Structure 1
Amino acid sequence: MSKASGKPGGRKVEPGAHVVFEGRTWQVAALVGATVRLVDQEGTTASVLPAYLFADPGFEVAGVQAPASAPQWGLFETVPVKERERALAWQRHIREVETGLPAGPGSGGVPRPQYDPEQRTLAEREQAKAEEMTALGWAKVSRPTVHRMRSRYRAQGLWGLVDGRTQRSSSPTGRTDERVVAAVLEALRRQRGRSRGTLRGLRELTGQILHDTYGAKVKLPPVSTFNRLVNALADPLERPGSPARTATTAARPFTPTVALRPGEMVQVDTTRLDVMAVLDDGSLGRPEMTIALDVASRSILAAVLRPEGTKSVDAALLLAEMAVPHPARDGWPKALSMAHAAVPYERLLSLDERLAGAAARPVVVPETIVVDRGHVFVSEAFVAACETLGVSVQPAPPRQPTAKGAVERTFGAINTLLCQHIAGYTGSNVTRRGPGVAGEACWTVAQLQDLLDEWITAWQNRPHEGLRHPVLPKTALTPNEMWGALLAVSGYVPLPLSGRDYLELLPVRWQAITDRGIRINYRTYDAPVLNEHRGRPSATASRGGKWEVHHNPHDARQVWLRLPDGELTELPWIHRDHVHRPFNERTWRHIQATVEQRADREQHEADLADALDQLLRRARPAPAANTGAAAAGNTASRVRAPAAPPATVPSTKAAGAEGRAPMTEGGLQAPGAHEAVSAQAEWGAGDSLDDLEHAVGPTDGIEDRDSAPYSELTPDQGTFVLYDAYQEAEQW
């Protein structure tokens, strides 16, 4: 009787054999019919059925090692095909050595003489098999090899015939330095719970960890090795990288855009920034970013951030920023100044004095602007502003994203190289967004604008693979280097702008002058200059006698009225002295929906102004408790106020100038002076765009002098300190 009948080395139960049953060793005394008689060492006898005996979990035949009950076919399928074929061939050879037949006992046929168990010993059969396999071309097969393979087959079955070298489990990190592996794991841990970025961003974070921990002793592996290491260590759900995209429509013909001189073609577009920001009312939202990209040099000429709904005034501001040198902020590295850029600085400075102290960014007056068909870029205000500057507007074909491929690719570069390193990064889509984005958000739109301006200046000095010069075709140039090379062909002609030019680019609305002034959405704008025009129609008959009013949608604290002499005169909001920060229409609508009218219109307007001031104070934390310092690390050192203008801005005719404090050196008013600089303030050749903002009122994204802390030099210490507008406001 056998449990594995006919199998080589099977477990046989026959009289005289010793078996283990119920934890005791028994000897088979006899086989009586369908029962097995057992006797142990103490003489105790037992009679059991074979099925019950074999079913015992501890049953085994003493002195016999049984092979696996069934081949491990699932594991065997993981072996390479060639190795599987080799193992099956070994199985046939071993069966022939042991039984005389390649297919095993019971397969039929007559054994070959050299393998006949009746005529040859086992040792002779093993030697014959070794000689036969060597003659067939098997390398290094000897009798000990055949014996060893037989032993492995008895112990492990077919799996024992597989070459173990093919099943060695390699380390997922290979020979990478353990310190690099630990740094990658730490970088992945820091990214866990945040929005997923790219492998490049994770590589930079890993490099920072290695530098902080080991200094320059440990270097990052090559990019390809690093990417394989991250793929091996990162969880698939947290692995950085871009998701696969599936084409849903047929690919359209693509023609690359070519421009041979700066400003020949400038692409303008708007998108949402992949960073959650703290808005003016304290809520969270993704600001809109509008950039202008010069195709010839791949330079980001200008960039504007807005909390919501980019307007025509933002596009007009973009035009002004392109044509005017951008000043370098205090605290920026010297390498980001125009004097250190790869351009003919001395020659440019002789043509335009405004480049002294300017940031290393091109100054370009565009010839053609390519825009999409968004209402902002096809509006009358934007088109009129372009016509004023002699710029041609070219709308892109509908449903043709490749028409603005350069600017679209730049959006991706901003998100990849900048946004993913900022607290509050949301990822490129919701599937890559971390659960704690709202808790990370700590930057205001103005602070993000400051970071973006500095990053753009650094971008100008970064090599771009798409920029090549005929003289150096194998060298990737930076945008500044390409701009400097093209200047030798196209030249440079400065475009002077004044404060009046900026006011002319602001949106226009037509309003009547009542006895109480000009009323816009429950806000009253009044000044003594309106006395002789109250209740009277304007000379513009086509507008029903209404007057031309220019306004900034991002700062509703003043408007500008065109008087009969053709000049734009500033009219302050009657409650401007009570509201110390700029606000936009969105914040004003929120206040209107919150505050219930309980008295006449004048009192209701005063209540709205008080509620607005309280909201702005709550929405912005005190300077000493800057939220960015906790989440982003030393935010105070990163967020710098706009630099003071280099020259005093002269003041001319302005409404409500009575009682105005004198201007201090640098163009800023002394503390306590709330009125804006006159709308007629000239923006001379030595001034910058920031000077203009101080002259006509701040734009959204750049805090004004009444609310933003600015640097002032203390004579006793000779160092810069922050001006606390809130503390000063308590004394007004």
Structure 2
Amino acid sequence: MGAGKLPVLRVGEWVRFDGDEHQVVALAGTSVRLRSRGGVAQVVLLAFLLAAADFELLDEQQAVPAVEPLGLLETLPHEVLERARRWERHLVEVVTGRAPEAPEGAGPRPGYDPAASTLKDRDAAKAVELSAAGQPTSARTVTRMRLRYAEQGLWGLVDQRYTRGSDPVGRADERLVTAIRAELDAQTHASTGTRGRLMRRVRTALDAEHGPGVVPIPGRSAFYELVGVLAGGRHSFGAATTRRSLANRPVAPFTPTFATRPGELVQIDSTPLDVMVLLDSGVPGRPELTMVVDVATRTIAAAVLRPAGTKAVDAALLLARTLVPEPMRPGWSAALRMSASWLPHTRLLDIDARLETAAAKPVIVPETIVIDHGRVFVSEVFTRACDRLGISVQPARKGTPTDKPLVERQFSSIASLFCQHVAGYTGGNVTRRGDRITDEPLWSLPELQDLLDEWIVAGWQHRPHDGLRDPHAPRRAFSQNDAYAAMVAVSGYLPLTLSRTDYLELLPVHWRHVNEYGITIDHRTYDDDALPHGERSTVAEQGGRWEVHYDPYDLSHVYVRTPAGWITAAWTHLPMVSAPFADFTWRHARRMAAARGLPDDNETEVARVLDELLTRAGNGPPNKATARVAARTRAARRRVLPEAQVIDLPTPAPAPGAGPAPVEPFGLFDVDAEAERWL
């Protein structure tokens, strides 16, 4: 043990506390009365005083004992630690007069009795003893080791050659180290190169800043070794995606994302799914997965697959799907019903009758949703849908995926737990992809959507999650449904149902004049007898234009808001087209018309090309571009919407005195198109 007495807090002692010096004037139980040099008195608890960061006992006569760094001692070589312990035994005898291994009751050896000798005499005696034993030592060395032992304990006796920290860059020139670090920082967002390229760039930068040859460059092996030290943890010569991801990590310490009730915080994002599907035209492609994840329960509230190119309306309708129960599908096991799960089905059924035939997946009503800066989520359609549903939108910081880590991690979980077991799995990147993926049988997009929905209900929601633990039973991991059952009992459940009008509100909007011939949108004309032809709207900010909503996956009709309610207007050339079509289908038809020398702003000519495009798609398209457009049109047309969201607008009643309802005319007979159908 080090020399000196244990420090004691007594009345009259001076201490440093709360940025000032105080004198202890009284001690009463666990309370201490202090008086500062300015005369200000206060009473503090002893435990609070001793735990203060700036507490210090100012009595110089009381020596504070050294606390040995046990962790550092364990890292020393065995022979170095044993040498320090031998010194400790010798110094204990010098200070106390008795060696630690001396028998109990034995007196001091000659020359070491504290009553008959001074410390200086005992230091000299110990030096003579060690020199005679083959360890040449001077009295000055013994005194120095004794003082170090009093200050640092056993750690002060360790050979200092083994306690010095080594500089990771060795004796490298500081200018060289600075240049290498600058070039490594510059490679964060650049394409991955080799160490040879880095060496050339460092040499060029040093010559430009300090002059040619002023800063010496070590040989290739030494340079590569130095780069290996400086590039540790950067992934500078590996995958560029990993390097950028590491650079986007938040600066520690940071607060993890958490929520205490279902729907308090949800995260949404889109990513290409690692599975090839067979589109309707027979062309394989990777779908895009858009997913909503509840932070509190880790529940996948909604997940929708779309052909590449998710639209804002998809994200808006995805929010609507989170508000309705997941219906049981034909062929699903009865064990997947909510009534057969741990969810409080009976209690919830009294509040929401829709849960009677629902699957075992919670209904999440979002309060706040975290989005990235993708144009789908920052669009007016999506933000307006969130506002309509009473959801607060919280944008993540740009280039910071850690602001929504749960949904990012969920994508990885779906890839490992679901995608790799599905036919057509492509792997996370091209280096993990098989060479004949498209030759094996592939699922269609609707079939894969059904499989994903069933896996979420049957697998994910019942799988224990390491992030869901009870603080009173931390060893047990709860499933998503278990966490929801526990939280909903405390937070409660308030269902939010959507009407057909709410569905229309979620659709994208155009502001258009209603002319005598109807409404024109992207060279398409829509008309209905109930439209206010030639009238101006009451919305002064829009210059008399009317609010027109449309479904980008079905442009056959638009919906106009009027003071009397919603009016459905049909496309005037709809009888010429054999099937519903999407906005991207219309754009492709216009490009095809222009390529044939036809005017792409002529509605009739584009309608003929559009009908030809949709008719031929089923029998084999002439090129892949046409196939993808037609396949995306069919896939989008079959999207699964909640039952409460199906549009079934009533036909406007005829005005009093009006004659019979107008007869819908047949389309023009196209001889060429009809012949091609028969062929």
Q: TM-score of the superposition, structure 2-length normalised? A: 0.54
Match of 1:399 in 2: 399
Q: 1:687-711 CA deviation, whole Å, 9 max, x = no partner?
A: xxxxxxxxxxxxxxxxxxxxxxxxx
Contact 2:511 2:548 in 1 (8 A): yes
Match of 2:372 in 1: 372
Aligned counterparts of 1:650 and 1:520: Cα–Cα separation in 2: 23
Match of 2:199 in 1: none
Q: 1:422-469 CA deviation, whole Å, 9 max, x = no partner?
A: 232221111112222233474333333222222221221222222112
| Change in 2 beyond 3 A, CA 1:518/1:423 | farther
Aligned counterparts of 2:646 and 2:263: Cα–Cα separation in 1: 31
Aligned counterparts of 2:654 and 2:471: Cα–Cα separation in 1: 60
Match of 1:520 in 2: 521
| Change in 2 beyond 3 A, CA 1:562/1:454 | same
Match of 1:265 in 2: 265
Contact 1:278 1:442 in 2 (8 A): yes
SS in 1 for 2:357: coil
Match of 2:569 in 1: 571
How far did residue 333 of structure 1 move?
1.4
Aligned counterparts of 1:428 and 1:348: Cα–Cα separation in 2: 40
| Change in 2 beyond 3 A, CA 1:541/1:389 | same
Could you tell me which amino acid in structure 1 is paired with residue 586 of structure 2?
W
Question: Across the two proteins, how many residue pairs are aligned to each other?
Answer: 400
Aligned counterparts of 2:242 and 2:369: Cα–Cα separation in 1: 32
Aligned counterparts of 2:642 and 2:497: Cα–Cα separation in 1: 20
Contact 2:498 2:645 in 1 (8 A): no
| Change in 2 beyond 3 A, CA 1:390/1:420 | same
Matches within 5 A, 1:711-730: none
Aligned counterparts of 2:326 and 2:357: Cα–Cα separation in 1: 9
Aligned counterparts of 2:545 and 2:241: Cα–Cα separation in 1: 54
Matches within 5 A, 1:80-229: none
Match of 2:355 in 1: 355
Aligned counterparts of 2:642 and 2:381: Cα–Cα separation in 1: 30
Q: 1:467-521 CA deviation, whole Å, 9 max, x = no partner?
A: 1123543222211111111111111111121010011011111223334322323
Contact 1:266 1:368 in 2 (8 A): yes
Uncovered stretches (5+) of structure 1, i.e. residues with no partner: 1-241, 621-639, 661-729
Match of 2:428 in 1: 428
How far did residue 324 of structure 1 move?
1.5
Match of 1:494 in 2: 495
Deviates more, 1:509-518 or 1:600-609: 600-609
Contact 1:276 1:441 in 2 (8 A): no
Contact 1:327 1:359 in 2 (8 A): yes
Could you tell me which amino acid in structure 2 is paired with residue 527 of structure 1?
D
Matches within 5 A, 1:272-421: 272-279=272-279, 283-421=283-421
| Change in 2 beyond 3 A, CA 1:575/1:330 | farther
SS in 2 for 1:558: strand
Match of 1:466 in 2: 467
The answer to whether the aligner puts 1:541 opposite 2:540 as a matched pair is: yes
Aligned counterparts of 1:656 and 1:453: Cα–Cα separation in 2: 44
Contact 1:263 1:294 in 2 (8 A): yes
Match of 1:720 in 2: none
How far did residue 647 of structure 1 move?
13
How far did residue 575 of structure 1 move?
4.5
Q: 1:558-585 CA deviation, whole Å, 9 max, x = no partner?
A: 21111232x2222223354565654322
Contact 1:550 1:559 in 2 (8 A): yes
| Change in 2 beyond 3 A, CA 1:473/1:618 | farther
How far did residue 362 of structure 1 move?
1.1
How far did residue 546 of structure 1 move?
2.3
Contact 2:577 2:608 in 1 (8 A): no
How far did residue 301 of structure 1 move?
0.3
How far did residue 299 of structure 1 move?
0.2
Aligned counterparts of 1:275 and 1:559: Cα–Cα separation in 2: 35
Aligned counterparts of 2:471 and 2:509: Cα–Cα separation in 1: 48
Aligned counterparts of 1:506 and 1:363: Cα–Cα separation in 2: 22
Q: 1:380-430 CA deviation, whole Å, 9 max, x = no partner?
A: 332222222221111112222222111111001111122222232221111
Contact 1:578 1:613 in 2 (8 A): no
Match of 1:206 in 2: none
Aligned counterparts of 1:649 and 1:400: Cα–Cα separation in 2: 39
| Change in 2 beyond 3 A, CA 1:298/1:619 | farther
| Change in 2 beyond 3 A, CA 1:536/1:617 | farther
Q: Alpha carbon RMSD of aligned pairs, Å?
A: 3.5
Match of 1:557 in 2: 556
Aligned counterparts of 1:656 and 1:450: Cα–Cα separation in 2: 42
Aligned counterparts of 1:535 and 1:343: Cα–Cα separation in 2: 56
Contact 2:503 2:645 in 1 (8 A): no
| Change in 2 beyond 3 A, CA 1:273/1:497 | same
Could you tell me which amino acid in structure 1 is paired with residue 464 of structure 2?
P
Match of 2:216 in 1: none
Could you tell me which amino acid in structure 1 is paired with residue 353 of structure 2?
E
Aligned counterparts of 1:280 and 1:323: Cα–Cα separation in 2: 30
Q: 1:116-168 CA deviation, whole Å, 9 max, x = no partner?
A: xxxxxxxxxxxxxxxxxxxxxxxxxxxxxxxxxxxxxxxxxxxxxxxxxxxxx
Match of 1:186 in 2: none
Aligned counterparts of 2:506 and 2:340: Cα–Cα separation in 1: 33
Match of 2:588 in 1: 590
Q: 1:22-75 CA deviation, whole Å, 9 max, x = no partner?
A: xxxxxxxxxxxxxxxxxxxxxxxxxxxxxxxxxxxxxxxxxxxxxxxxxxxxxx
Percent of aligned positions with the same letter in both sequences?
A: 50
SS in 1 for 2:462: coil
Could you tell me which amino acid in structure 2 is paired with residue 448 of structure 1?
L
Could you tell me which amino acid in structure 2 is paired with residue 468 of structure 1?
R
Contact 2:328 2:357 in 1 (8 A): yes
Aligned counterparts of 1:405 and 1:317: Cα–Cα separation in 2: 23
Match of 2:30 in 1: none
Q: 1:61-118 CA deviation, whole Å, 9 max, x = no partner?
A: xxxxxxxxxxxxxxxxxxxxxxxxxxxxxxxxxxxxxxxxxxxxxxxxxxxxxxxxxx
Contact 1:460 1:480 in 2 (8 A): yes
| Change in 2 beyond 3 A, CA 1:496/1:441 | same
How far did residue 320 of structure 1 move?
0.9
Contact 2:508 2:551 in 1 (8 A): yes
Match of 2:483 in 1: 482
Match of 2:455 in 1: 455
Matches within 5 A, 1:624-703: 652-654=650-652
| Change in 2 beyond 3 A, CA 1:285/1:245 | closer
SS in 1 for 2:604: helix
Query: Highest Rg: 1 or 2?
Result: 1
Q: 1:345-383 CA deviation, whole Å, 9 max, x = no partner?
A: 011001100111112111121111111122222223322
Uncovered stretches (5+) of structure 2, i.e. residues with no partner: 1-237, 622-637, 663-676
| Change in 2 beyond 3 A, CA 1:500/1:619 | farther
Could you tell me which amino acid in structure 2 is paired with residue 406 of structure 1?
L
Aligned counterparts of 1:479 and 1:287: Cα–Cα separation in 2: 26
| Change in 2 beyond 3 A, CA 1:641/1:386 | closer
SS in 1 for 2:406: helix
| Change in 2 beyond 3 A, CA 1:542/1:649 | closer
SS in 2 for 1:495: coil
Aligned counterparts of 1:643 and 1:506: Cα–Cα separation in 2: 13
Contact 2:500 2:646 in 1 (8 A): no
Contact 2:578 2:611 in 1 (8 A): no
| Change in 2 beyond 3 A, CA 1:654/1:364 | farther
Contact 1:316 1:385 in 2 (8 A): yes
Aligned counterparts of 1:372 and 1:338: Cα–Cα separation in 2: 33
| Change in 2 beyond 3 A, CA 1:616/1:472 | farther
Could you tell me which amino acid in structure 2 is paired with residue 387 of structure 1?
D
Q: TM-score of the superposition, structure 1-length normalised? A: 0.50
